[in-house]
Structure 1
Amino acid sequence: MRLLPVPHLLVTLLATSLPAQQPSLAPTRATHAMVVTIHHDASDAGLAILKQGGNAVDAAVAVGFALAVVFPQAGNIGGGGFMLIRDRSGKTHFLDYREKAPAAASRDMYLDAQGNVIKGLSTVGQKASGVPGSVAGLAYAQKHFGKLTLAQDLAPAIRLAEEGFVLSPGEVANLHAARLTQFPESARIYQRNGDFYQAGETFKQPDLASTLKRIAANPDDFYRGAMAKQIADFESRSGGLITSADLAAYQVKDRKPITGDYHGYRIITSPPPSSGGIVLLESLNILTGYDLPKVGADRSPAQVNLITEAFRRAYMDRGDYLGDPDFASMPLKQMADPKYASAWRKTITPLKPTASADLVRPAGFMPPAPKLPETHESTETAHFSVVDADGMAVSNTYTLNFLFGSGVTVEGLGFLLNDEMDDFASKMGVPNGFGLIQGPANAIAPGKRPLSAMTPTIVTTKGHWYRRAKLRYVLGTPGGSTIITTVANNIISIVDNGLDVQQAADAPRFHHQYLPDELQVEKRFPINITDQLKTMGYTIKRSGEFDENNPGVWGDCELIAIDPKTGELLGGHDSRRDFGKAAGY
């Protein structure tokens, strides 16, 4: 493909406005295997399983359950997510264990008599929860792809729940969350009924330990046994919607990942009900026509401009067309078409934003967008990446949605329920909790999985009939609607701009999602760059700008790279979270 020329003005801008690079640690190095997570105890749990002879899936299962103990604001057994697996032979699987709407859910369940959204009903409390999928998903992964037993994989999590773990200042601050205080069982477990935990104390969770032991013995108990009855009885007493029948009907979906190419690499990523993969590929397809390093350095105004305009266009398609593939037909082939990307690229003017209100989709590629009757994911998700000694890789993202999910802890079982129902479109054309406008394809319906931005991704070389593709990167992040743009920027920073995985994880972030029409940046993003972007015509929203106590950051990238020359594993843990780590041997 002929790369687009670089206007002289871009070169002049580049020469005067390179962003100051944030200091970054070196990647963690290992020769055999690597686990990278948001919590050091969870990383150690996964590493211990690898050393016991488990493979990457066993380690991922151990991490998933361990995070339910040590990172309850997002790690979970009461939520759901996606696991992308690539085995040593190159075969891939995408396990969809996303939550599902209960049978009692309805399209207008969060609207008042006047048809307006009832604030908070889809985000806090008993009616906010979808049917959890995490236990089913992790158990399915272990049964079909693991080497050890489920009991072995759960042993570290059970130990952490029984014996406890030492709380850091950041973790203590999280436990002060107001939504936990609203619900007696949550306030009892996480806040000692107002006698808040202090940094350095050991946090034990005996109810959760008992629940994990029951899951280790028989995970089906969660969905069809005595535990399912406990959950359903609690829901009935407290006004929730999840029933025994809902739990019994839950199934994990083993879906085919979607793939695309970018500058000599193969991108393997998430299909719907994740919007992440196809929006990622559409964005990268648009950017394929540019020689970004010649346009500017990483995070330079010229690069940010082109990348932002690609995001704007891909997110426009996200809102109009995407939903649960079991309920909606989606134009994925058209969205991934390089000719469509080329047509979009012709609408981009370097150094100038296109107002979202003026954006017109190229004709001749997509079906008509559904008509919306009105005009009008969470930052607390957890991602972890694993590579084992045989080259099997796992990229897993799962969530409760907002911080501590719905805030509701199931009595006697010690785990929090999600508030994933907010990821549906509560009302057509009205933004959800992350400001995303969503169409009819993501309307609430019984048994339906809400659209997600979670984007677990694996990058390989491009294989040929005479040469097998080789694993290069495993990546992902939390961050709600910003997940897709963060993963895209990680790939661009590494593949185009030559950053290592630690530098990519630590780089300041920017995001555009079509509506609202604003370029969002982290508080740490260089002021001189945002000032030049404002001069171009962008409306800038700086995260946490007016709150000195807010760090103004989002996401938590957990990245692994494989050195193509030595085969060494390089782990990059996001420096925004000081209690996580990359662990290898």
Structure 2
Amino acid sequence: MLSVLLISISFSEGGRTPVRAKNGMVSSASKLATEVGVETLKQGGNAVDAAVATAFALAVTWPSAGNIGGGGFLVYHGDNGHATSFDFREKAPIAATEEMYLGVDGRVVNNSNHIGILAIGVPGTVAGLFKAHQELGSLPWADLVAPAVALAREGIPINYSLETGFARSANRFRQYPSSAKKFFKTDGSFYELGEIWIQPDLANTLDLIQNNGKDGFYKGENARRLADFMAANGGLITEEDLASYEAIEREPIRGNYRGYEIISMPPPSSGGVALVEMLNILEGYDLAALGHNSADYLHVLTEAMRRAYADRAEHLGDPDFNESMPLSKLMNKDYAATLRASIDMNEKSDSSPAEFAQAYESEETTHFSVVDKNGNMVSMTYTLEFGYGSAIVAEGGGYLLNNELGDFNAVPGLTDNRGNIGTTPNLVAPEKRPLSSMTPTIVAQNGKPVFATGSPGGKTIINTTMQTILNIIDHGFNIAEAIEAGRIHHQWLPDFTSIESNTISVDTLRLYEAKGHQTRERGSQGAAMGVYYDRDTGLFEGAADSRRGDGGAVGY
């Protein structure tokens, strides 16, 4: 069975040396899911087939973010030059309202936009995977879901990440009988390292999807059961919400940086727009001459981040509700030159809380990258929002539900220096998709994909992805070195720079802070996954970020 995959592969668990292979590569946060993707390639599947199989497997093996109860984005670039993207972001239910989370004082009640059943958006993952497969897949749909069914039904060994993740979220799971049933043994005790975790309800739901495609999730037994569960617990999602959900194929964001083509996700992702805006600003500097992670280098990165994140807050949201978003302006080279001219190399700029701020966005997401033997690439990021999403398991369905509606601006007009934001483009509305930072990206040259990357990490995703790209293009790092290098993050407000512990020298920090920057040390930022096609050697390279230790890059 595919739940136990012992195949002839090249494998890497992270580090500064990439794994290399001749026929294809998958890099994800879960070794088991990665192996499912590679086995799909070995069976003659293309990059989209492998992505679909990997995504369903992650819903079993990486439940903190891998999902069928959440949503995300997929970017594709074929070796023939064709590039496209698929938006399967969650939607607000039809019954949602702009002020649904507010009390009589006009403030959010009990953090209900993030916690509880009202935070759950209409899931999009199954619809997105199905649409991508319809458009670009080659193997039968059922064959791609089968490995996940087997993993759920036969069980997977509890590893360190699962053991500790379950323990950290135990109190959340215990609030809901359906969640306690999934994440605890029948006697109420924790699963321990090495024990086999079987997910029969999830296996049955995946079986419905395997045999009925998208309709197995959005219509029939699962839809009725989920709608009944929502109604019984005060939720808003109905059978109509589920039946009407559609994933959308969108024209990707396209930019150009030092002769490379940047292909990324358009709104409702803010990632592609902000990424291209920052790269346009930075293209005016000789970053290699500044030196990787020098004080001046970190300064110009920070100032580019500051400006792009301010524009993100002011302008971006669901394109189906915001037709006048100035995307062309934000990604224009002349506009970038104007922003660059406002950067003082000796002093930081100010971020004014009187204008805009950034809504909270959880860092618990997952990303994977795929390249097949023909050089076609997929970059996909999807999420439940918080780690384990809402912590609410759909009763009888065995899958976790997201808490993605917390990515909307909850209080119209309220913007302050604590991180609240009330700007119009991202306010709640029926059937609207919340703004996201997920930034699945493929970099191409002369119409041919070169590398694919992305990361989890909430608001940090865009900056992690940008720094990975700069590390390869400007500094000549291989894919593994690019992913492992130290990272910084600035998101305009609050006005400080987070810096990964022990990655920047004390002397460099002093020079950087002398320009006026406030810094905060943090643990790891993101968990990038990447694949690279070296067309000179004909070899594929892959790397999985060691910041999350259960991932792996696998090739054959």
TM-score band (shorter)? over 0.9
Q: Does 1:355 align with 2:350?
A: yes
Aligned to 1:64: 55
Q: Cα offset for 1:239?
A: 1.1
From 466, 475, 490, the equivalent of 2:468 is 490
Q: Does 1:526 align with 2:504?
A: yes
Q: 1:397 to 1:432 in 2, by over 3 A?
A: farther
Aligned to 2:179: 186
- Three-state SS of the structure 2 residue aligned to 1:135 is helix
Aligned to 2:123: 132
1:373, 1:429 within 8 Å by CA — same for their partners in 2?
no
User: What letter is aligned with 2:173?
Assistant: L
Equivalent residues, number: 537
- Three-state SS of the structure 2 residue aligned to 1:520 is strand
User: What letter is aligned with 2:547?
Assistant: R
Aligned to 1:257: 252
Q: Does 1:555 align with 2:526?
A: yes
Q: Cα offset for 1:534?
A: 2.1
Normalising by structure 1, report the TM-score: 0.89
Matches within 5 A, 1:425-440: 425-428=409-412, 430=414, 435=419, 437=421, 439-440=423-424
Q: Cα offset for 1:387?
A: 0.5
- In 2: Cα distance, 1:107 partner to 1:128 partner: 13
User: What letter is aligned with 1:265?
Assistant: Y
- In 1: Cα distance, 2:49 partner to 2:375 partner: 14
Q: Cα offset for 1:34?
A: 0.3
Give a deviation string over 1:242-289, Cα, whole Å, max 9, x none: 001101110111100010110110101111010000000000000010
Aligned to 1:37: 28
Matches within 5 A, 1:347-496: 347-357=342-352, 377-428=361-412, 430=414, 435=419, 437=421, 439-461=423-445, 463=446, 469-496=447-474
Q: Cα offset for 1:512?
A: 0.6
1:375, 1:430 within 8 Å by CA — same for their partners in 2?
no
User: What letter is aligned with 2:176?
Assistant: F
User: What letter is aligned with 1:525?
Assistant: T
User: What letter is aligned with 2:217?
Assistant: F
Q: Cα offset for 1:194?
A: 3.7
- In 2: Cα distance, 1:406 partner to 1:451 partner: 18
- Three-state SS of the structure 2 residue aligned to 1:533 is helix
Aligned to 2:79: 88
Aligned to 1:330: 325
- In 2: Cα distance, 1:89 partner to 1:224 partner: 36
Give a deviation string over 1:513-532, Cα, whole Å, max 9, x none: 11111111222433513333
Q: Cα offset for 1:438?
A: 5.3
Q: 1:170 to 1:104 in 2, by over 3 A?
A: same
- In 2: Cα distance, 1:583 partner to 1:335 partner: 37
Matches within 5 A, 1:188-267: 188-192=181-185, 194-219=188-213, 220-267=215-262
User: What letter is aligned with 1:451?
Assistant: L
Matches within 5 A, 1:306-321: 306-321=300-315
Aligned-residue RMSD, C-alpha = 2.1
Q: Does 1:536 align with 2:515?
A: yes
Aligned to 2:488: 510
- In 1: Cα distance, 2:157 partner to 2:353 partner: 53
- Three-state SS of the structure 2 residue aligned to 1:240 is coil
1:353, 1:538 within 8 Å by CA — same for their partners in 2?
yes
2:357, 2:416 within 8 Å by CA — same for their partners in 1?
no
- Three-state SS of the structure 2 residue aligned to 1:475 is strand
Long gaps (5+) in structure 1: 1-22, 360-370, 464-468, 544-551
Long gaps (5+) in structure 2: 1-13
Aligned to 1:11: none
Q: Cα offset for 1:238?
A: 1.1
1:379, 1:555 within 8 Å by CA — same for their partners in 2?
yes
Aligned to 1:368: none
User: What letter is aligned with 2:294?
Assistant: S
Aligned to 2:297: 303
Q: Cα offset for 1:332?
A: 0.2
Aligned to 1:570: 541
Q: 1:438 to 1:541 in 2, by over 3 A?
A: farther
- Three-state SS of the structure 1 residue aligned to 2:363 is coil
Aligned to 1:362: none
- In 1: Cα distance, 2:68 partner to 2:359 partner: 36
1:373, 1:428 within 8 Å by CA — same for their partners in 2?
no
Farther off after superposition, 442-451 or 376-385: 376-385
- In 2: Cα distance, 1:221 partner to 1:113 partner: 41
1:376, 1:429 within 8 Å by CA — same for their partners in 2?
no
- In 2: Cα distance, 1:326 partner to 1:434 partner: 29
Q: Cα offset for 1:181?
A: 2.6
Give a deviation string over 1:151-175, Cα, whole Å, max 9, x none: 1001111111011111212220001
- In 2: Cα distance, 1:388 partner to 1:230 partner: 38
Q: Cα offset for 1:431?
A: 6.9
Among the aligned pairs, what percent are the same residue? 45
- Three-state SS of the structure 1 residue aligned to 2:406 is helix
2:360, 2:407 within 8 Å by CA — same for their partners in 1?
no
User: What letter is aligned with 2:383?
Assistant: T
Q: 1:376 to 1:228 in 2, by over 3 A?
A: closer
- In 1: Cα distance, 2:121 partner to 2:270 partner: 18
User: What letter is aligned with 1:526?
Assistant: I
- Three-state SS of the structure 1 residue aligned to 2:352 is helix
User: What letter is aligned with 2:553?
Assistant: A
User: What letter is aligned with 1:584?
Assistant: G
2:28, 2:552 within 8 Å by CA — same for their partners in 1?
yes
1:377, 1:423 within 8 Å by CA — same for their partners in 2?
yes
- Three-state SS of the structure 2 residue aligned to 1:94 is strand
Normalising by structure 2, report the TM-score: 0.93
2:353, 2:417 within 8 Å by CA — same for their partners in 1?
no
Q: Cα offset for 1:51?
A: 0.8
1:374, 1:428 within 8 Å by CA — same for their partners in 2?
no
- In 1: Cα distance, 2:382 partner to 2:475 partner: 29
